[in-house]
Structure 1
Amino acid sequence: MKFIEEIVVEEFLPTFRSMLAEDLRDRGLTQSEVAEALGISQSAVSKYAHGDVARREVILEDERVRELVERIGEGMTDGEMRPVQALVETEVLIRRLENGDVLASLHEEAVPELSEYGGGFNIHDPESELRTTERVLASVRRGLRRLENTSGFATLIPDVGSNLVACTPGATDVDDVAGVPGRIFDVKGQATVPGDPEFGVSEHVATVLLAARRAGSDARAALNVRYDPDIVERLVNDGYQTVEFDGETSTEEAVKAALSDVDDADALYQSGGYGIEPIVYVLGPDAETVVERVRGLV
């Protein structure tokens, strides 16, 4: 795990400081004056002057960095820019370069897992896609761990397998829904999760969840289990609202019709049809809540 702040310290600052030290020396400042202006030791200035500090070419060649170095060098030399202003101006540029820019790319280089976001993210943004999707994935992972540790859950898995899914707040299609690749199956009485959750790998359960959301539900997670009248009855007895939908028509239209009067349903179910396995879909605000509701059925 490498933080973007480490990229700033290890990659940006040595390059930027060396550029600024070089600029100030070219403007006639002594090594001592440069050290005082930058708040660093004279030995550090000497290292910069003799090229003893590694510099990042991509930062050296960035026009915005070069322009800021020149502006700070000129301002500090003629006394029109105080060190505090130079610091603020540099901080502003750093934040800009962290936001889907040069520093974000260097961060991606150091942490390859970030590459799936294409560098177009601001790691400090609390509402960023990166943070949102990682929270969804974490929620599914926690839910899956609870399922794996739930004795008897395997008995609730239908023949087609189960899947635990959760979506982002603005989900519009299955690519915005995280689930288990390959589904959860009963292997010798044990619920088996074949892999880590990913986005876009669940079509069936994700489709039901998205259809429910488009019909007015606030649910952001779902888990399918086998259908049994006793299971539906137990959900009702536990205080959950259950609604049946027609499994032989399109999922979108069937779920929409079922939720036309009850958009806050906690569970949807279809009792089967020709070639269609009956299934119960337990809904909830997040993966952990859905799992807890299902654990109550074991």
Structure 2
Amino acid sequence: MKFAEEVVVEEFLPTFRSMLAADLRERDLTQSEVADALGVSQSAVSKYAHGEVAQNDRVRDDERVRRLVEEIGEGLATGSMSQVQALVEVEVLVRRLEDHDLIAQLHEEAMPALEGYGGDFDVHDPDDELRSTERVLTSMRRAIRIVENTSGFAALIPAVGANLCECLPDADGIDDVAGIPGRIFDVKGRATIPAEPEFGASEHVASVLLAAREHGSDARAALNLRYDLDLIERLEELGHVTAEFDAEYDDVASVVGEALSETSDATVLYHTGGYGIEPITYVLSDSAADAARVARKLA
């Protein structure tokens, strides 16, 4: 595991300080004065001057970095900029470069697990897509462990298989919903999870979840189970509000919307099947783990 801060310390700062030390020396500051300005030892300045500190070419060649080095160099040399102001300006640049920019890209290269995000993330932003995505996947993995450790879960799986999904906070399509590739099946009495959760892996259950959210539900997750009247009654005993919708639909959003218009606080949606259509129950929850816990109570 490599932190973005390590990239700053190991790649950005040595390069920036080397560049700034060289700039200040060119402005006729002594080695001692440069050391004072940078807040480092004279031996460190000597290493910068003799090229003993490795520089990152991409940081050194970045026009924004070069421009700030020149600005701070002039300010410190003339006394028009304090060390505090210089620090603030560098910190601002670092944060900009961490936000979908150069440092984010260097971080991705240093930590291959981040590949695929294309530097399009900000590790300091609590609402960044990377953090939201990983939170959803973590919740899904937690839910999978609950399913795998729930004796009797297999008996709740419909013939078409079950799926469990959770969406991003601002989900507007299937690709914003994480599910289990291949669904959950009953294999010799055990719930079998074929693969790790992925975004875009669930279509049907994800569509029901998105339809519910479109029509006012705050649910972030959904789990489909087999249907029978006893199961619905047990869910109601657990405090869930249930709503039925028509199984023979052309547009899931419209039938789910109709059901929720009559029962807006429903946390369980179900249909009783139709010609060639298996009856199904859908549990809506705040998270995939919460949906799995509901199933555990039913098992």
TM-score higher than 0.5 here? yes
Aligned-partner Cα distance in 1 for 2:274–2:171:
30
Q: Is the 8 A contact 1:216 1:263 kept in 2?
A: yes
Q: CA deviation at 1:114?
A: 2.4
The aligned counterpart of 1:268 is 269
In the alignment, residue 170 of structure 2 is paired with which amino acid?
G
Determine if the alignment matches structure 1 residue 60 to structure 2 residue 67: no
Are 1:7 and 1:107, in contact at CA under 8 Å, matched by a contact in 2? yes
Contact kept? 1:218, 1:264, Cα under 8 Å:
no
2:222 is equivalent to residue 222 of structure 1: yes
Q: How far apart are residue 186 of structure 1 and its match? A: 1.3
- RMSD value over aligned CA atoms? 1.2
1:261 Cα deviation from its structure 2 partner = 1.1
1:246 corresponds in structure 2 to: 246
How far apart, in 2, do the equivalents of 1:106 and 1:269 lie? 49
Pair 1:103 & 2:103 matched: yes
Which residue is equivalent to 1:287?
A: 288
Deviation of 1:282 after TM superposition, in Å, equals: 0.7
Residue identity in the other structure for 2:118: G
> How far off is 1:97 after superposition?
0.8
Q: Tell me the TM-score normalised to structure 2 length.
A: 0.97
**Distance (whole Å) between structure 1 residues aligned to residue 189 and residue 10 of structure 2:** 52
Q: Which residue of 1 aligns with 2:114?
A: 114
CA displacement at 1:98 relative to structure 2: 0.7
CA distance in 2, matches of 1:183, 1:44: 59
Match of 1:27 in 2: 27
How much does 1:120 deviate?
2.3
Instruction: Give the letter for the 1:286 counterpart.
Output: S
Offset, 1:117: 2.5
In the superposition, the TM-score normalised over structure 1's length comes to 0.97
Question: Structure 2: any 5+ residue segments left out of the alignment?
Answer: none
Q: How far apart are residue 113 of structure 1 and its match?
A: 2.9
Determine helix, strand or coil for the equivalent of 1:160.
coil
Matched, 1:187 2:183: no
Aligned to 1:36: 36
| Alignment partners' CA distance in 2, 1:51 and 1:140 | 49
Q: What does the per-residue CA deviation read over 1:46-80, in whole Å, with 9 as the maximum and x for residues that have no partner?
A: 11111111111111111111111111111111111
Q: Displaced runs of 4+ in structure 1, greater than 6 A? A: none
Partner residue, 2:6: 6
Matched residues, percent identical? 65
Counterpart of 2:81 in structure 1 is 81
